[in-house]
């Protein structure tokens, strides 16, 4: 029975981790190397992550520098960034690429906040689905007389506490990301 709650809690924690990773890819005006995590470069016929073939650093608050270990791959990295949905055109100086992040407009900030809220809602749905799955398993155990009605009520309370904490964590992450977007 505690195993069902632990499984649900693990699913909820994974959801929170995925939410944090998703938030790092949202471009809020500051240079963040994580924004390039989803960009794949064709490197000798193999899709490769940029961070596996180049050093990525933040030279200024709004400038990301990508310095490939193999200079011949510079053009491929540039093409991959241009083809991605990042929305920034890299500057190529022959040795490295620079991504200058522009100051977001008020309209863009509002769009980003909406996007953050939608991602947060999706995370809450995933958390509630984990709770529902655990409850279904606990109710099946009750139906098979593996646990009593009182045990079921106790486990439902424990599961609800875990769910409430996970939802509160999502809300806190959403508020923090909104604050970051609006103060950049």
Residues 140 and 170 in one domain: yes
pTM, whole model, 2 decimals?
0.70
Give the CA radius of gyration of the chain. Answer: 22
Q: What is the pLDDT of residue 3?
A: 85
Helix 2-24 to helix 106-143 angle (10° resolution) is 170
Q: Using one digit for the tens of pLDDT, what is the confidence trace for 18-45?
A: 998 888 777 666 777 888 888 888 888 8
Tokens 């920034």 identify what position?
88
**Domain of residue 109, residue span:** 2-25+105-183
Residues 16 and 37 in one domain: no
Side-by-side strand order, sheet with 97-100: 54-60, 63-68, 97-100, 91-92
Residues 46 and 111 in one domain: no
Above 90 in pLDDT, residue 151? Answer: no
pLDDT at 86: 77
Can you give the CATH number for the domain in which 167 is found?
Answer: 1.10.132.20
Q: Which residues pair with 66 in a beta bridge?
A: 56, 97
Count of domains for the chain: 2
pLDDT band per the 50, 70, 90 thresholds, residue 184: low
3-state helix, strand, coil in the chain (%, to 5): 65, 15, 20
């Amino acid at each position: 029975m505690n195993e069902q709650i632990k499984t649900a809690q693990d699913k909820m924690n994974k959801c929170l981790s995925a939410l944090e990773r998703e938030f790092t890819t949202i471009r809020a005006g500051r240079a963040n190397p994580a924004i390039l995590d989803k960009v794949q470069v064709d490197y000798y016929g193999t899709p490769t992550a940029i961070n596996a073939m180049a050093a990525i650093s933040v030279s200024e608050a709004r400038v990301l520098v990508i310095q490939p270990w193999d200079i011949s791959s510079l053009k491929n990295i540039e093409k991959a960034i241009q083809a991605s949905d990042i929305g920034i055109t890299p500057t190529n100086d022959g040795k490295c690429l620079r991504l200058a992040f522009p100051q977001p407009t008020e309209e863009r900030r509002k769009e980003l906040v909406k996007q953050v809220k939608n991602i947060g809602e999706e995370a809450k749905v995933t958390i509630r689905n984990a709770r529902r799955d655990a409850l279904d398993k606990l109710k099946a155990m009750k139906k098979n007389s593996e646990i009593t009605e009182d045990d079921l009520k106790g486990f439902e309370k424990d599961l609800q506490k875990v769910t409430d904490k996970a939802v509160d964590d999502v809300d806190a992450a959403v508020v923090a990301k909104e604050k970051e977007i609006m103060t950049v």
